[in-house]
Amino acid sequence: MTDFQEYDAHLEDWPTLRASIAFSGLLVGNGASRAVWDDFGYDSLFENARTVEEKPLSPSELSVFDAMQTRSFEQVLGALKTTSRVNKALAVSSAAPRNRYYAIKEALINTVHAVHIPWRLIQLQTLATLHQELSSYSTVFTTNYDLLNYWAIQHAPGTITDLFDGNDHSFDLSQVATDKPRLLYLHGGLHLVRNQDGTARKLTSTEGTLLGNFAINNTLKTLDDVPLFVNEGPSEDKLKTIRSSDYLSFCYEQLLHHGDNLCLFGHALGEQDRHIVHALRQAAPKTVAISIYPRSAAFIQHQKRHYAKVFEGLAVQLRFFDAKSHPLGDVKLSVPVEV
C-alpha cells in the first residue's frame, strides 16, 4: 500500500533496479526530451507562437483562441476547417476562416522550427541509444509530441511499431495486435495528422520537409489535414481532444489497462495531466519505478512526496531511481543548444 509518509533522499541505481524487476511498460515525459535538447523545456507552444520571430500569431488569430476559450492549436484549426466548409456549403465567403486557418498553422510550424532540435545535430549514436531503450519494453507510452522518439524508431525500421501500418500509413484498429514493441503517442505527435473523417495517419519523409527528413509542413498545403497533437490547456480539454480521435482514444485506453510494472521517466504528473494520473490510478501497476533528477536532497524528498500522493491509497509499490543512471537520462545524449 502506498501511503503518504516522509521520504529520505536516497535514489536507486536504474541498472540494479531493472535487473531485479521486469518492466513491460515505459511512460516517457518531457524530461526525456530535455535530456537531449534543453529547449524542449518551453512551457507553452501557444505563448511561443505569440512571440516567434517569423510570422507570430496576430491579434486576429489570437481572437479565435480567445473566442473558443482554449490554447489548443488542434481544436482551433479543426474548428476553422469546419467553419470554412460550412460557409462554402452555404455559399457564404469562407475566405476569412480559411486565411486564419493557414496563418495559425504557419505560426505553429514556425514555432516548432524555433524550439525543435535540428535534424543535422542528431547523432546516430543518440538514435541508437534511444532505440535500444525503447525496444526493451513491450509498450512505450509518451506524452511528448516532438520527433525524437519517431526518429529513434526509424533508426532500425520494423523493430518497433507505432501501429500506423494501414493504407497510406494510417492507424487501423484492426491491425493493433502485434508481438513487436509498441510506441504509443498519448498526446499525438508533430508527424501525425487528423484526417477529415477523424481518423489518423502518419506523415513520412516523402510528404515534405520540416525537421530533418521527417515532415509535417505539407499540412500547410491542404485544408484537410490538421496536426494531431494535444499541446495546451487543462486536463479536461486534453481529454476531450483525446476522446475525439480513434487513435488517441486507443492509446489512452491502453494506459488505463496497463496493470504490469511500469517505468516512469521524465514525467512530472502535474495538474495539467490529471487525465494521465487518472489512467495510472485506474491501471494500478504492481510496481512503478520513477525517475528523479538529483538536484538536491530537499528536491528529491519533495518529488517522492509528490509521487506518493499521486498513488496514495493504492496497492502500488513505488521505487525511485536516479534519472542520470537511466539510458534516457545519460548526459552523453545532451546536445548543446545553439545560440
**Rounded Cα distance, 202 and 122, in Å:** 21
**Rounded Cα distance, 130 and 250, in Å:** 24
Same domain, 162 and 237: yes
Domain count, the chain: 2
Instruction: Give the pLDDT of residue 175.
Output: 77
Same domain, 90 and 201: no
**Which residues constitute the domain of residue 144?**
14-37+121-333
Please classify residue 38 by burial: count the beta carbons closer than 10 Å to its beta carbon, then call 0-12 exposed, 13-18 middle and 19+ buried.
middle
Whether residue 64 contacts residue 99, with contact meaning beta carbons closer than 8 Å, is answered with no
- Alpha carbon separation from 203 to 74, 90, 197, 206, 228 (Å, rounded): 16, 32, 17, 8, 11
Q: Is the dihedral of CA 324, 330, 331, 336 positive or negative?
A: negative
Question: C-alpha 52: how far from its chain's center?
Answer: 22
Instruction: Give the pLDDT of residue 28.
Output: 97
Same domain, 88 and 180: no
Instruction: Give the pLDDT of residue 216.
Output: 40
Instruction: Give the pLDDT of residue 106.
Output: 82
In-domain check, residue 4: no
Instruction: Give the pLDDT of residue 5.
Output: 58
In-domain check, residue 295: yes
Q: Which of 115, 143, 162 is the last residue of a domain?
A: 115
Q: With H, G, I as helix, E, B as strand and everything else as coil, classify residue 200.
A: strand
Instruction: Give the pLDDT of residue 259.
Output: 96
Same domain, 64 and 24: no
Question: C-alpha 257: how far from its chain's center?
Answer: 19
Q: Which of 98, 115, 132 is the last residue of a domain?
A: 115
Same domain, 58 and 194: no
Same domain, 59 and 163: no
Q: For the chain, list residues with pLDDT below 50.
A: 1-4, 207-221
Nearest Cα neighbor of 246 from 321, 166, 303, 317 is 166
Same domain, 69 and 146: no
Same domain, 128 and 142: yes
Same domain, 20 and 74: no
Amino acid letter for position 98: R
Whether residue 108 contacts residue 45, with contact meaning beta carbons closer than 8 Å, is answered with yes
**Rounded Cα distance, 36 and 29, in Å:** 13
What is the enclosing helix (H) or strand (E) of 201? Answer: strand 200-202
Q: Which of 115, 142, 167 is the last residue of a domain?
A: 115
